[in-house]
Amino acid sequence: DQQVKQNSPSLSVQEGRISILNCDYTNSMFDYFLWYKKYPAEGPTFLISISSIKDKNEDGRFTVFLNKSAKHLSLHIVPSQPGDSAVYFCAASAESNYQLIWGAGTKLIIKP
Closest by CA to 52, choosing from 21, 27, 78, is: 27
Please give the Cα distance from 23 to 100 (Å, whole number): 14
Does residue 25 touch another protein according to CB under 8 A?
Answer: no
- Contact assessment for residue 42 and residue 2, using Cβ atoms and an 8 Å cutoff: no
- The residue from 7, 14, 26, 45 that contacts another protein (CB under 8 A) is 45
Pairing, β 32-38 against β 19-25: unpaired
Which listed range, 40-48, 55-63, 64-72, 78-86, lies at the site for another protein (CB under 8 A)?
Answer: 40-48
What is the dihedral sign for C-alpha 55, 75, 17, 6? negative
CB of 107 to another protein, least distance (A): 11
Is 97:91 a contact under the CB 8 Å cutoff? Answer: no
Q: Which CB, 98 or 112, lies closer to another protein?
A: 98
Q: How far is the CB of 58 from another protein (least distance, A)?
A: 17
Among 49, 52, 57, 74, binds another protein (CB under 8 A): 49
For position 32 contacting another protein by CB under 8 A, the verdict is: yes
The site for another protein (CB under 8 A) is made up of: 4, 6, 9, 32, 34, 41-46, 49, 89, 91, 93, 98-105
